[in-house]
Amino acid sequence: MQPNTRRSFLVRLTGFLVAGGALVASWPLFRSLIPNVLYEPPRRFTVGDPNRIQQGVTFLDEQRVFLFREANSFHVISGICTHLGCTVKFARFGRQQEKTVRAFSFTALGEFHCPCHGSKFHGEGTNYAGPAPQPLKWYRLEVSPADGELIVDLDREVDRDFRLVV
Ligand code: FES
């Protein structure tokens, strides 16, 4: 092998090894950008037989929504604060404090408080204190024609006078 050819070969080999080494060394960095599991709860889900859902308020923590039942009337309010997305808490009123929100013919059992920056929402979701800029969202509920179970659809917002009567 000629000296020039040998030198050229060694330069190429060195370049190849350096490039390969850099690729191998940077692989963990690239891999860390790809999550091992892509988990997102379904946007449309069943919550069971409406007759078996308890009266009052039930919080569904995986989907972060509050399911309300008053006799045979159901509705769902988002538990995601409209300020920066913390999960709000439902603060139940005492019996004497229950209020009727006339605009929505709504008997509020309590109200929502955000633990992060102090926003407060009336029982039908209207923001009235703190930095939250908008009311909590309401979502569509329907009865499955196949098995009669209640279905919540987080892709379909509804007005605050929505009720599903079963
Ligand atoms: S996230 Fe709820 S008040 Fe800021």
Tokens of 161: 């006078």
Under 8 Å between Cβ of 76 and 141: yes
Tokens of 105: 């013919």
**44-165 has which CATH code?**
2.102.10.10
- CB atoms inside a 10 Å sphere around CB 100: 11
Task: Kindly report the pTM of this predicted structure.
Answer: 0.74
What is the residue-level pLDDT of the chain in tens, covering all 166 positions?
A: 566 788 888 888 888 888 888 888 888 788 777 777 767 778 999 999 999 999 999 999 999 999 999 999 999 999 999 999 999 999 988 766 666 555 555 667 899 999 999 999 999 999 999 999 999 999 999 999 999 999 999 999 999 989 999 9
Query: Which of 86, 121, 134 to mutate for ligand 1's pocket (most ligand atoms within 8 Å of CB)?
Result: 86
> If you search the block for the tokens 């080999």, which residue do you land on?
13
